[in-house]
Amino acid sequence: MNELIRRLIDQVARRRRRGDETVTDDRELDRRMREERELVFVGGVFFVEKFAYFVERTVAEERLEGGQLFVGFERFSILTGHAERRQRYLELEELDNQAWAYGWDEPLDYSREPPGPWPFRGVVPVQVSAEDPIRWSWFVVYRGLERSYCLVALSGMRGENVLGATGRPREVRFRGVWTTDEKIADAVAADLLRVVNPYYGK
């Protein structure tokens, strides 16, 4: 999966004829997101969170259905232990979409103490190995009938989780791609469905 993400980032980065440069500025990021322009970005957790929220909010507010949603935040606890994100996914699963979440820790509801059962009925947890390189990628991909959104990013951190011991995000640098190109969304979705999910029995 990570090799595919690397190739996709490089592919988009080579599209210089479209006039898109690597983005590191927050204001430029906001502008391009509003315009739904494809871009390569370099930034911290803030960047990937911003893209993820855009996709989640768009699917929820516009009630996009009949598609597939794939999310990977490294750990399930980054999904279930964050109150606002957990609530968004409880709302998203009410829509008629298929959805999978990927993580290497236990798929539990980390908002509870002690952690309780997986809180979602319509989001299938895919627990990957702690050694799987997928744990160093963040992605939110919606492959829809009429529209697709794709965030894929690789973390510069290895051997550590994105959240530190205090639960606060570490200073992690990501290099990634944001695009509405359905072919790129299809490529990521196909790799997850044909390779990752069967390997982990989902």
Label residue 162 by pLDDT band (50, 70, 90).
very low
Q: What's the whole-model pTM score?
A: 0.86
Dihedral (CA of 135, 101, 138, 70) sign: positive
User: 2-199 belongs to which CATH class?
Assistant: alpha beta
Residue-range domain boundaries for the chain: 2-199
* In the predicted structure, residue 46 carries a pLDDT above the cut 50: yes
Q: How far is CA 179 from the centre of its chain?
A: 12
Residue with tokens 């430029």: 28
Label residue 37 by pLDDT band (50, 70, 90).
confident
